[in-house]
Chains A and B, each alone.
Chain A
Amino acid sequence: MNPRNVGELEHADGTGTCGNPVCGDLMIFYVKIEPRVDDIDVARIADIRFKTFGCGAAIAVASMASEMAKGKTLRQVIDMSRDDVANQLDGLPPVKMHCSNLGVQAIQEAVKDYLAKIGRDDLAAQIKGCSDKGTAGKT
C-alpha cells in the first residue's frame, strides 16, 4: 500500500478536516493555491497533502482524491463529488461509501478555508464542505 501525497504542508493556504475518530475515520487535507487569487476559475490546487486516521478504504480515498484534485481549479474541486472518487477507485463497498469516503469533502473544506482566509467569506459560504467535522487531536 503506497498512498500518494501523505504528509503536511508547512505554509498551507488552506486546511480542511472531515470525519472524527469516534466513527473511525478522520482526514485532514492541506492545500497550496496558485495563483493566490479569488477567481475560482483561475486559482488552482498547486500542491496537496493529507493525513488520515482510518481504514484501508479511507487511505485509498484520501490518496485518490488528492491525486484527482491536484492541478484542478477551485471550481472544479468544488464540483467534485464523492462518487467521482469512488468511481476512480472502481467502486467502494456501500458501507464504506458512508464512512470512509470523506476525501472530497475534506479537500472542499480546505478550499473553503483558503477563500475565507483571503476575505471571500461569501464564496466560502457557498461551499457545502464536510457534514461531519472532526476534532483532530482530541482522543
Chain B
Amino acid sequence: MIYLDYNATTPTDPRVVDSMLPYFHDIAANPSSSHSAGHEARDAVEKARATLASFLDCKTDEIYFTAGGTEADNIAIKGLAFAQDKRKKIIASAIEHHAVLHPCEYLQKFGYQFVKVPVDEYGIIDLSLLEQEVDDNTLLVSVMHANNEVGTIEPVREIIRIAHRRGAIFHTDAVQTIGKIPVDFNDMAIDMLSLSGHKFYGPKGIGALVVRKGIRFDALSHGGHHEGTKRAGTENVPGIVGLGKACAIASEEMANEEDRIRQLRDRLWHGLNAHVSELKLNGHPEKRLATTLNFSVRYIEGESMLLHLDMQGICASSGSACTSGSLEASHVLLAMGVPHDLAHGSLRFSLGRFNTETEIDRVIEVFPNIVAKLRAMSPLHKQDTKGV
C-alpha cells in the first residue's frame, strides 16, 4: 500500500508506540490516585506536558489535554463564548475545518453573530476584509494556521495584530502545522491554539488546547478537577505520553523532514505534469505545507480517481461531493473560487514521514492511465484535446 493521506491521519511512529506501551499495563494507575503508582502516572502526564510546553513555547499550565483537535476547537470557541456576555461577534475564515465552523454556527443560537471572512484564490484570508469586520464587539477571531485540504499557510502574525488591536481573542486550529513547521505560541502572541496527536505521528484520541494565562473560558464537560477543571475525565495517560513523544521527535527531526517531504512532493507534481495535461494546482504555490499537493484534473471526477488509485493500492483523498457524504463539493475549494466541476475533480496527495521515492515514482507511473481511462469516459473531455 502507498499511503498518501497523511493530512487525514498519520500512522503512529513506532517510537511513539514504544513510549506508550508501559502505560497500558505496568504503569496503569489513575494519575489522580494518591498511591505511588498513581504518582508515577501523574509524573508521566506532567513530563509530557513539559515536553509540549517547551516544544510550543508556552507555559505548562497553559496546556489542557483533550481527546483531539475537534474537542480542543469546541472548548476554545464555545468555552470562551459561555464565559462572558460582553462581546457577541465571532469571526473565522471561510475555509476553516468544520470543527471550527460548526461550533461557531452553533453559537448563533445563543445570540452570537458569526462572520466568515473570504479567502483569495490561493486560500489566503482577505486581511483588509478581516480588518473591516473586527470591531469592539468581536470576541474571537479564529483562523487556522494551515489549511488541511490545500495546505495554504495563513498570515497568522498579521491576523493576530488585527484581532488584538480591537481587543479580540485569537484562536488558531494548528492541527496541520504542529510537528511540521515551527509554531511559537509565545512569540507569535497566540491566545488559543488547538492541536491533535494523530496528525504528526502521535496516537489518535489525544490532542491539546493551549490557552494564554488570564483568558477565561468555561469547561464543556464537568465531573472532575482534571486539567484545571477545564476538561473533566480521567487522563488518557498512554495517549498523553505518546503525544509528548511525538513532540520530542518532531522537535528533533522536523526541519530535515520538511525538506525531504517537500522534495518528494515536488517530484510527484512535476512527474504528474510531465505525463498528464490540464492539471491545476489548488493552494498557494509557495506559502504551503510541504506535505500537501492538491490539484484538479480537468474533465473527470475525484472519487472515481480515488477508486482507481485504491485498486492500485494508493490512498489519497478528494474534495468531490461524492467523498463528503453530502451533496456539496469541498467548501474550501469553492471558497477559493474553484469552479464546481474542478472542485469535484480535485485530488489531494498528502505526504509524510514514511513515504519513499519509489512510492512517488509508482504513483507517477499509474496515474496517467487512470486519467486517460476516465477522460475517455467523460462527456466534458473533447477528443481533440492533446495528450491525456
Contacts and interface: CB of A to CB of B under 8 A. Distances in A.
Say whether A and B bind each other. yes
Interface of A: 1, 3, 6, 17, 21-28, 51-59, 95-96, 98-100, 136-137, 139
A23 B321 CA distance: 8
Nearest to A99: B327
Contacts of B377: 3, 6, 51-52, 59
Specify the main secondary structure of chain A where it touches its partner.
mixed
Given A56-B303, A139-B298, A139-B341, 8 more contacts: A1-B304, A1-B307, A21-B380, A25-B301, A28-B379, A53-B380, A58-B322, A137-B380
B308 A6 contact: no
15 contacts: A1-B308, A21-B340, A24-B322, A24-B327, A24-B344, A26-B379, A26-B380, A53-B344, A53-B378, A53-B379, A55-B323, A58-B301, A100-B322, A136-B379, A137-B379
B326 interface: yes
Contacts of A53: 299-301, 341, 344, 378-380
Interface centre among A21, A25, A136 (most CB of B within 10 A): A21
B311 A1 contact: yes
Interface residues of B, number: 29
Given A52-B377, A139-B341, A139-B380, A24 B304 contact: no
Contacts of A22: 340-341
A21 B344 contact: yes
B339 to A, nearest CB: 7
B46 to A, nearest CB: 46
B290 to A, nearest CB: 30
Interface string B307-324: 110010000000011110
Interface of B: 298-304, 307-308, 311, 320-323, 325-327, 329, 339-342, 344, 376-380, 382
A57 B320 CA distance: 13
Contacts of B323: 55
B311 A55 contact: no
Nearest to A98: B327
A48 to B, nearest CB: 15
Contacts of A6: 376-377
A139 B327 contact: no
A135 to B, nearest CB: 10
